[in-house]
Amino acid sequence: MANREAIRELQARLASRLQAARTEGVAVAWLAVKAGGHNYLLPLGQSGEIYPMSNVQSVPYVRPWFRGVLNIRGGLYGVVDVAGFVAETGGAPHAETLALDSSVVTFNSALEVNCALQVDSLAGLRGVDAFESSEPPAEGAPAYFGNRFVDSTGEHWQEINLRTLSQFPQFLSISV
């Protein structure tokens, strides 16, 4: 129970920081998440809301990375395991994790896709100043990969362009 309250508090803090960043013009560019043993950056302008992962209804005859559907405020959202999808489409292989505090991050409503990405954990908001270097995606990387960043601790962070991902043919084809 305390774990759920801590998650709610984290989500509330992130939501308030996000709102402050939008109103004050702070240079926050990404929501940092962890999934499948990798670090990802989701552009704030393309990201929507954050919810705890609960009550996902499975769907038969779909790819393993499509977890099912979730009711969010009366709307149905498809839930995609981002690490599993990245691994299947030529990105980094992912390690199965047993995250008890998984969350889903919805796509911004402007993208007109009722979809949410399942992530293992939230790592806060990041701006360009949080990184020491960046490089373009590797040759042969999926089209939805943006730049790859390295922070001051040496951790690598892969940007995922949600607009491109939402139009990626394999992302739109969930059936087996």
**Hey, CA dihedral for 28, 30, 110, 141, is it positive or negative?**
positive
Q: Which domains does the chain have, with CATH numbers?
A: 2-172 (2.40.50.180)
The pLDDT of residue 101: 76
pLDDT in tens, 110-167: 999 999 999 999 999 999 999 999 999 989 999 999 999 999 999 999 999 999 999 9
**pLDDT tens profile 52-83:** 988 899 999 999 999 999 999 999 999 999 99
pLDDT band per the 50, 70, 90 thresholds, residue 176: confident
Pick 154 or 4 by higher pLDDT: 154
Task: Show Cβ contacts of residue 5 under 8 Å, excluding neighbours closer than 6 positions.
Answer: none
